[in-house]
Amino acid sequence: MKKERVLPWLVELSRVNAASLAKGRPGDLPNLIYELQQWLDLEPDEPLNAEVSDLEKKPHRLQTMIDRVAELLGAVADRKSFRADYSGGSVILDAAKLGSEGGEL
């Protein structure tokens, strides 16, 4: 996915209702999964690829991920902290440290 498309795509993703998408047009959910794989820049043999592909069968897991993306974007917009825990620890993003012109977190 091209760099200039990443942020708009994340905003679009944060608005998705996975259950509705799964019941909608037949190609919509697979297309979203494909775009997610493009965003993650996964190689075909990477283990995470199988997990992402499996989201098509488990829209509730996809919705949980979408909700977390929405929380992250909300934290950045409101200049608050966002924490994500994973098996190896946690990541904390403190958007309050962004300057008025943006910058790196």
Could you tell me which of 92, 25, 35 has the C-alpha nearest to residue 62? Answer: 35
Question: Which pLDDT does position 101 carry in this prediction?
Answer: 62
SS3 100: coil
What pTM, to 2 d.p., does this model score? 0.78
pLDDT in tens, 30-76: 999 999 988 888 888 888 888 888 898 888 999 999 999 999 999 99
Could you tell me which of 47, 13, 15, 14 has the C-alpha nearest to residue 33? Answer: 13
Q: Which residue has the tokens 């199988």?
A: 50
